[in-house]
Structure formats: C-alpha cells, structure tokens
C-alpha cells in the first residue's frame, strides 16, 4: 500500500471518505468493490482510535434484547457469521460462560434461559459457515459445580448456575480493519493515513465538493475533490461537520468512554467469563495471549475527543467493579500490565446513562441542513460495520445514480483471508516451513493469512529479522513488513497496530529499541527522530498513575 496523498494529483473521486476506522474502511471496501473511484483519509493511523479500543469480540449483542432491539441483534448475528466467513483467520467462535446469582432477577438463570433461547433463534443461520470449524452450537445451562470446573476463580461465589453460549473472538481488530482497507485498495481505492482534513471545499454556499487535507508527515496541504464526501469520523464526526457548517457543531452526538485492562492474573483459557456487578452492569474477563483482558466500562465522556486519555481513576473504577463480584483483592492496580481505551459515538440524546444507550447507527444526508454532497455516519458497532457500509452506498446511489456493481463484500474473502479451512491452512504452513518454530508459524498464519509467506521471506533475508520477540512467536520481520507493505509510519503503528509486540504492554527496552532501529533504517529516521519515537511509545505504553512503567511486563 502507498500513501496516495504524497503523489496527489487533480484526480476527482466518486466518494471521499474521512476516517480510517472500521466504518470508513468498510465503506471504502464496499464502494471500491462496486466500481467507484474511492479516496480514504485518516488523520492519524488506521484503526488508531475507537476501532482499536474493543473487547476483541464479534458479537450479536445479547444485552440489546433487554431493550427490545430485535432487529439490531438479528443484524449483528447475521454479520457475525459473515465475518466468520470472510475473515476466517481473524474471527473464531468462542464459548462465553455467564454466571447467575439469586440476588439479580435480570441475571437469573431463567431470565437468561429465555434470552439465550431467543438469541439462538435469531442466529438460525449460525451453522451455514464456509469453514465447518466456524459453526456455532446452541447455548446450554450448566450447574454451579460445572461453572467452577470451567473457571476455578468462581470457587468462592454463591452461584445458582451458569449459561454457556457462543459469540466470536476477534484476535486482532486493528489488523482486521487493515484487511478491509487492503481489500479496498485491491479494487483500486486510494488511501492515506496521517492525512488530516482541515476543511471542506464548496462550489456554492450549499454544496460540498471536496476536502482540504494536510499531510501530517510533511505539512503539505492538498485538495481532494469528490462527488460525495462521507464523514466516518466516529467520535469526531460532529467536529468535522462543524467545519462544513463553519463552526456550528451537531449537538446530537454523545461520547461514551470504554476502557480495558490487561493483567497477568489468568483465568482459564477455555472460555470468556461474563459476569454482572451488583448494580446490574456486565463485564468480561477474556483470556488473551496468556493474559486476561478485562472490560469494558461505559461512562459518558464530556470534552474534546482529541484530549481523551485513560486515567488512573477509570482504571480503579473498573477494578472496583470486578472486585465487587470476585472479592476485594482479586485484581489489584499493581496487576495491570497495560490499559487502553477509546470513545464510542452514540446517537441518542435522552438515554439516562450511556450503558443503556443503543448501538444503532444513523446515516445522515446533510443535504437537509443545506450541505449537498455530504453524508455523515454516526454510532454503530464493530460487528455491523460491513452492513452499515452497504446501506451508506445505497444512499450514495440514491443521491448520485452512479452506476454501481452488486454488493460482493458478504460473498468474498477479505484480502489475505482466502482460507477455506483454517486448521488445514495452519497445518500446511507448519509442514512447508520447518526452519521456523511452530508458534511463529501459527501466529503468522492467523494474523497475516495468505500473506504470511512475505513475512517469512523477509525473515529469511537476515538472521536479525528472524529473531523471536514475544511469547507467542512474533518475529522482527513483521516490523519490516509493516513499514514496507502496510503503511506503518511510527513506532507505535508498528508495535500496537501492525504487530502485537506491545499489545500486552511495554516489551522492554531491548526489544523496543531494536524495533525502533529497524524502523529508522526503513524510514530514514535520524538519531533524534528515533529517540523521540522510542520515548513517545514508552509514554504511550505506561499505565497511568503507575510507578516504574517504562519496562514493566510479566
């Protein structure tokens, strides 16, 4: 992939998309695959904000049934299956163990039995997956004793039983988003990260015809013109709209903070553990890369999204929620190895709390506000992004009547994901490449799909690049591949969004400086820039409020 903004000409596009999270990526793919000329602009790195701050789940939204949002749940369950099909190396069925208590009617086993039965009915096509191993079974009820056997950390709790149902894990949401972007590029889309939209171009007071863009890496200013501009700015959508309205900001967008923590305290690898606080809010303990991923919070955020960051206060609030169920001291602040968070855009105005807010989305034709040529997308959830993109393109067609091909995004593998049988694929990789360890090959096969061979080719070119730098077999060749093939332009791009080198926290000075040195060679950084990238990444990986955070890792 190449940053098209570096060679921007006077080319006019059919659609210009602002925002390189999962929504923008899905819209770009749908538009390009239907024959449109597409440009996608992201002011920082792809999947660097909300799309990176997920619980790494692809789910139907069981709790939305309590709000009678049956159509949203059905859409989510249908799209869960689609993602299993088109991204088989990223999305996997995984059991969810939900505990039940006498103290909560909302979480009683009989209420949950009713809800899960309906969940099964709404996912009636769950067995029609392209890969047989992706089929999802019906839910089942287990005794308290069986629940403790599955998750021994439940031993001290007074349970009435538990339910086991299935949703899906997304092993690397940032790379899944990147697969959508690569798919768009394969159909001719032009994309660029670090391309900030500063304003809109108008050919009259009421018609948007393009955007003014600053290349963040060079400070060069460009104009990118298109017939339709699609605002997929997520938590920044209203701010972008304010640029077009000359300061008048859309007041309907609310923002909800969601954070996660990663701890060395492990739960059983066999299931996600879903529990409910005494106040009736669900949270998850998710086994991930030999650690436990815990989340998420859901608290209204007021302020500029550019100034958002995870605070120690938010971390302690999440720990307190977990300990209110599992007992004081189950998780301590000192257990936290890494934390991340983001802002969800919500579209409702009058819901009392963001936890109860819908995850519906809105596709808004700004022509009704006197801004012809502009569409704004607000709200939504990761799982339904592909279908959301399809509906956005339906509106583009209605507005422009441009000839478009049929939708193919639900019937075609994402780029690099052309794998009919994931288990056979991994086995074949291990047989064909005996010069690499099985953990490395497993990791590369699942995270790079059919592109894994390009990473191995780099590793074979130098012993340095074959060095293993994580417990699950990652190698330094991935850093080289990230720069050469995946538009990584900063150290944090490499270690957080292209590879998993730092997604469990700071991997230590030796590894981080080695990756920085590789990036410096590939990108032409001088010593000052290399040191700055290293220090910035160390600060980014630090747990807020923690002492000695530069090198902590289990």
> Is residue 413 included in any domain, yes or no?
no
CA distance 259 to 342: 7
CA distances for 398 relative to 28, 144, 369, 404, 519, angstroms? 18, 55, 17, 11, 45
CA distance 189 to 46: 15
Question: What tokens were used for 303?
Answer: 């302020």
> Is residue 478 included in any domain, yes or no?
yes
Same domain, 437 and 520: yes
Same domain, 125 and 210: no
Half-sphere exposure of 151 (CA within 13 A, CB side): 34
Asked if residue 342 lies in contact with residue 53, where contact means CB atoms within 8 angstroms, the answer is: yes
* Residue-range definition of the domain harbouring residue 228: 4-50+174-252+359-400
CA distance 167 to 173: 15
CATH number, position 206:
3.50.50.60
Question: What tokens were used for 537?
Answer: 């990444």
For each of the chain's 554 residues, which pLDDT tens digit applies? 999 999 988 899 999 999 999 999 999 999 999 999 999 999 999 999 999 999 999 999 998 898 889 999 999 999 999 999 999 999 999 999 999 988 766 778 888 999 999 999 999 999 999 999 999 999 999 999 999 999 999 988 889 999 999 999 999 999 999 999 999 999 999 999 999 999 999 998 899 999 999 999 999 999 999 999 999 999 999 999 999 887 565 555 789 999 999 999 889 999 999 998 888 888 999 999 999 999 999 899 999 999 999 999 999 999 999 999 999 999 999 999 999 999 988 765 434 443 334 446 689 999 998 999 999 998 878 999 999 999 999 999 999 999 999 999 999 999 999 999 999 999 999 999 999 999 999 999 999 999 999 999 999 999 999 999 999 999 999 999 999 999 999 999 999 999 999 999 999 999 999 999 999 999 999 999 999 999 999 999 999 998 644 444 33
Boundary-marking domain end, from 342, 368, 400 = 400
Asked if residue 106 lies in contact with residue 276, where contact means CB atoms within 8 angstroms, the answer is: yes
Same domain, 209 and 324: no
Same domain, 364 and 266: no
pLDDT of residue 553: 38
pLDDT of residue 9: 83
Same domain, 216 and 151: no
CA distance 211 to 200: 4
Taking the whole predicted model, whether its pTM rises above 0.75 is answered as: yes
Same domain, 165 and 182: no
Same domain, 212 and 344: no
pLDDT of residue 526: 98
> Is residue 406 included in any domain, yes or no?
no
Q: Where are the alpha helices (DSSP H) in 130-191?
A: 144-150, 173-186
CATH number, position 497:
1.10.8.870
Same domain, 162 and 26: no
pLDDT of residue 247: 58
CATH number, position 272:
3.30.9.10
Radius of gyration of the chain, Cα coordinates, nearest whole angstrom: 23
Q: Angle CA(237)–CA(238)–CA(239) in degrees, nearest 5?
A: 90
CA distances for 499 relative to 18, 50, 175, 424, 503, angstroms? 25, 18, 8, 24, 8
> Is residue 405 included in any domain, yes or no?
no
Same domain, 372 and 509: no
Which residues of 236-303 form beta strands (DSSP E)?
254-263, 272-276, 282-288, 291-295, 299-301
Q: Where are the alpha helices (DSSP H) in 87-172?
A: 109-122, 144-150
User: Which residue, 265, 281, 262, is CA-closest to 324?
Assistant: 281
* Bridge partners of residue 262, in order along the sequence: 293, 338
């Amino acid at each position: 992939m190449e940053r098209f903004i570096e060679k921007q000409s006077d080319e006019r596009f059919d659609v210009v998309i602002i925002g390189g999270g999962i929504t923008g990526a899905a819209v770009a793919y749908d538009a390009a695959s239907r024959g449109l000329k597409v440009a996608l602009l992201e002011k920082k790195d792809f999947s660097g904000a909300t799309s990176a701050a997920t619980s790494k789940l692809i789910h139907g939204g069981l709790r939305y049934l309590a709000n009678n949002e049956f159509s949203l749940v059905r859409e989510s369950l249908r799209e869960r299956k689609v993602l299993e099909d088109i991204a088989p190396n990223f999305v996997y069925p995984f059991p969810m163990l939900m505990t039940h208590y006498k103290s909560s009617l909302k979480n009683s086993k009989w209420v949950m039995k009713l809800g899960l039965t309906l969940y099964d009915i709404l996912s009636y096509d769950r067995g029609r997956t392209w890969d047989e191993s992706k089929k999802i079974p019906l839910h089942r009820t287990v005794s308290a004793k069986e629940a403790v056997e599955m998750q021994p950390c439940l031993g001290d709790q007074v349970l009435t039983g538990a339910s086991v149902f299935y949703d899906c894990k997304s092993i690397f949401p940032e790379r899944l988003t990147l697969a959508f972007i690569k798919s768009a590029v394969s159909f001719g889309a032009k994309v660029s990260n670090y391309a900030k939209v500063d304003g809109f171009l108008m050919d009259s007071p009421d018609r948007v015809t393009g955007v003014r863009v600053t290349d963040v890496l060079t400070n060069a200013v460009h104009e990118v013109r298109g017939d339709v501009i699609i605002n997929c700015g997520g938590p920044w959508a209203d701010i972008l709209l304010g640029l077009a309205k000359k300061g008048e900001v859309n007041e309907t967008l609310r923002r909800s903070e969601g954070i996660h923590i990663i701890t060395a305290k492990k739960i059983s690898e066999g299931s996600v553990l879903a529990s409910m606080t005494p106040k009736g809010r669900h949270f998850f303990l998710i086994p991930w890369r030999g650690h436990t991923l815990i989340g998420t919070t859901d608290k209204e955020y007021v302020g500029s999204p550019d100034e958002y960051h995870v605070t120690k206060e938010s971390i302690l609030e999440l720990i307190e929620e977990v300990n209110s169920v599992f007992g004081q001291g189950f998780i301590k602040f000192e257990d936290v190895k890494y934390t991340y968070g983001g802002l969800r855009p919500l579209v409702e105005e009058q819901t009392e709390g963001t936890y109860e807010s819908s995850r519906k989305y809105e596709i808004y034709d700004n022509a009704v506000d006197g801004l012809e040529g502009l569409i704004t997308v607000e709200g939504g959830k990761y799982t339904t992004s592909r279908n959301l993109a399809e509906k956005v393109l339906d509106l583009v067609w209605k507005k422009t009547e441009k000839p478009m091909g049929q939708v193919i995004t639900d019937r075609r593998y994402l780029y690099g994901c052309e794998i009919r049988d994931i288990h056979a694929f991994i086995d074949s990789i291990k047989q064909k490449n005996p010069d690499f360890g099985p953990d490395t090959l497993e990791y590369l096969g699942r995270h790079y799909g059919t592109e894994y061979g390009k990473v191995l080719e780099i590793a074979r070119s130098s012993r340095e690049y074959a060095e293993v730098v994580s417990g699950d077999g990652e190698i330094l060749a991935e850093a080289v591949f990230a720069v050469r093939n995946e538009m990584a332009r900063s150290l944090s791009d490499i270690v957080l969004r292209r590879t998993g080198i730092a997604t469990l926290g700071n991997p230590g000075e030796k590894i981080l400086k080695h990756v920085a040195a590789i990036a410096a060679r590939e990108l032409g950084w001088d010593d000052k820039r290399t040191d700055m990238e290293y220090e910035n990444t160390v600060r980014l990986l630090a747990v807020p409020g923690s002492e000695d955070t530069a090198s902590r890792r289990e």
